[in-house]
Chains A and B, each alone.
Chain A
């Protein structure tokens, strides 16, 4: 679910970038090619800032957690330890944040459905903080990270057995 929204966000960002580069021409009409001289054919709206100016759009700070990175870390029952198999995920996100000091990520802790909503909220918080702590140890700045929790309120998978519970005990990393 969050994977999809991550993709959509990224897709939306790419569209925005493309839109920013394109000429303001309605696509349902044939493009009228101006036949003046060669130098003025590409754009009619660029302000006169000289011919050496290059416009810069820095999207890098918004490009954290690209979809090529896994972003879900699963936990054992009643455990807050980040298992070794998920270390690469934590490290990849940590590297990304270190390379983009303006980037921010939220670690969202989740639990399975068993138990009270407030106690589970605190347990999910503990998982999220465990992931954040590892990223800080890897050198990510405190201001780039926030640990929050949904407790048992947002299961990834419906179901009332161990296979569902195992998929719901997790921390999701998402960009902020």
Chain B
């Protein structure tokens, strides 16, 4: 009897647990494995939020649930940030923390989003924040509340207010899109009848570099996200592709075929001072700077099939980094420079994560059509494009692969997600 119940419970914990919130039904939060420790938290409605264009508490609730770090618990929350928690009842409900707040329209038309967080275990006020916002920025203000809660309770920066760029492909129509990190507030930055690939954020989040085929050949363009202005930075003879900004934003790595073959070049961010960086007779492409700016990781087939190499920016030869498997592409570095995510072809195409210190590699996906891994700026998550149940999706996973969340799902081809930096 007991072993059976035990087994059932273990089974239940290892299966995907869909948690649907009515207003955000597309968010399916999947928890895999039994190791997830989650902070139980009570989140009240924000006073007067029903008078505003967005429900602050619903956005914060979905953020916290999707992070995998929190479990929303039913319990009494103060009416707003000036109230006093009923600690005894909250403790009885098993809550460790409680949040209350308000959304008040100011005379100038802005909406003041306020919140306060209390530690239920210590019966202590953990502070709060007031953010007067334009109505158009209300979701951003809500994500800032989530970021604050996350940071105060985990000690790490939250990524709820960051954005993700990606490309959708419909027949004859390609769209470069930007979404909030919760998969909401999707906006089209560029629509074209020719392909768009390889978006890359500038370190300040103000610009996106990408490859356009608008003129029937691959050129690298940089776009100011807010203003929509563009400048062409690489349009040499042949193909121009795979842009990546250096961490200081001053240098761009690109792949050019102007001298024959595909090789990595470095250039100033405006396209000047082009110099060849990699030197092989094969293909060199998909350059990514290490977070300290000292090295460039790239894909090369100089040894036969495509593998990931690392080469110092200051000079010196390339070192091979990946050895498992015959086809490893699309490198991405964690913000602390310790992890390398990439796509490996085995039975299918899967996201792998290598610990660069030890060289240990693990698979972090359970799908087999994965593309384009990209780290969140706090290093906790990786986003990638894949197929699940026959549909194109953007998935996020923790770097250990234990917690996954489906960010977006579409009947369209969804590709090339790239997580933006902190700030916008």
A residues lining the B interface (CB < 8 Å): 106, 108, 115-119, 121-123, 125-126, 129, 146-151, 153-154
Indicate whether B416 reaches chain A with its CB closer than 8 angstroms.
yes
Contact flags B197-219 to A (C-beta < 8 A → 1, else 0): 11000000000000101001110
Known: A119-B306, A153-B213. A129 touches B372 (CB 8 A): no
Q: B372 contacts which chain A residues (CB < 8 A)?
A: 116
A selection of 7 A-B contacts at a CB cut-off of 8 Å is A116-B372, A118-B197, A119-B329, A121-B241, A125-B261, A149-B257, A150-B218
Is the pair B285, A118 in contact by a Cβ cutoff of 8 Å? Answer: yes
Q: Interface SS of chain A: helix, strand, loop or mixed?
A: mixed
Residue of A nearest to B345 (CB): A115
Tell me the interface secondary structure of chain B in the complex. strand
CA–CA, A67 and B330, complex, Å: 40
B261: which A residues are within 8 A, CB to CB?
125-126, 129
CB distance from B130 to the nearest CB of A (A): 44
| Chain B: interface residue total (CB-CB under 8 A) | 33
Which residues does chain B contribute within 8 Å of A121, judged by CB atoms?
197, 211, 218, 239, 241-242, 255, 262, 285
| Docked pose: A134 CA to B197 CA in angstroms | 29
Contacts of B242 in A (CB 8 A): 118, 121
On whether A117 and B415 interact (CB within 8 A), knowing A122-B283, A122-B285, the answer reads yes
**Using Cβ atoms and an 8 Å threshold, which residues of chain A touch B111?**
none
Inter-subunit contact B285/A119 (CB<8 Å): yes
Interface presence of B238 (CB below 8 A): yes
Cβ contacts under 8 Å, B371 to chain A: 116-117
Q: Which of B88-107 contact A (CB under 8 A)?
A: none
Among A106, A119, A122, find the residue whose CB has the most chain B CB atoms closer than 10 A: A122
Contact mask for chain B residues 273-293; partner A; CB cutoff 8 A; 1 contact, 0 none: 000000000010110000000
Q: When the two chains form their complex, are residues B241 and A115 in contact, meaning their CB atoms are under 8 A apart?
A: no
Min CB–CB distance A33 → chain B (angstroms): 48
Q: Are A125 and B257 in contact (CB under 8 A)?
A: yes
The 4 closest A-B pairs by CB, nearest first: A153-B195, A122-B262, A148-B217, A122-B283
Contact (Cβ within 8 A) A148 B262: no
Q: What residues of B have a CB within 8 angstroms of the CB of A154 in the complex?
A: 195
Question: Any chain A CB within 8 A of the CB of B422?
Answer: no
Q: Which residue on chain A has the smallest CB distance to residue B174?
A: A153
Q: Which residue of chain B has its CB nearest to the CB of A109?
A: B239
User: A123–B283 contact, CB under 8 A?
Assistant: yes
Interface residue B299 (Cβ < 8 Å from any Cβ of A): yes
Closest A residue to B196 by beta carbon equals A153
> Which chain B positions have C-beta within 8 A of A151?
197
A148 with B238: CB separation less than 8 A: yes
Q: Which residues from B are CB-within-8-Å of A147?
A: 238, 257
Say yes or no: A125-B262 contact (C-beta < 8 A), given A115-B327, A118-B330, A147-B238: yes
Binary per-residue interface labels of chain B (226-250) against chain A in the complex, 1 for a CB within 8 Å, 0 otherwise: 0000000000011101100000000
Is there a chain A Cβ closer than 8 Å to B309's Cβ?
A: no
A149 to B242, CA, bound (A): 13
- Quick one: given A116-B329, A149-B218, A153-B195, are A125 and B306 in contact (CB under 8 Å)? no
Q: Which residues of A contact B415 (CB under 8 A)?
A: 117
B349 to chain A: closest residue by CB: A115
Q: Are A150 and B283 in contact (CB under 8 A)?
A: no
Contact partners of A126 in chain B: CB under 8 A:
261-262, 283
| Contact between chains at B286 and A119 (CB < 8 Å) | yes
Evaluate contact between A116 and B237: CB separation under 8 angstroms: no
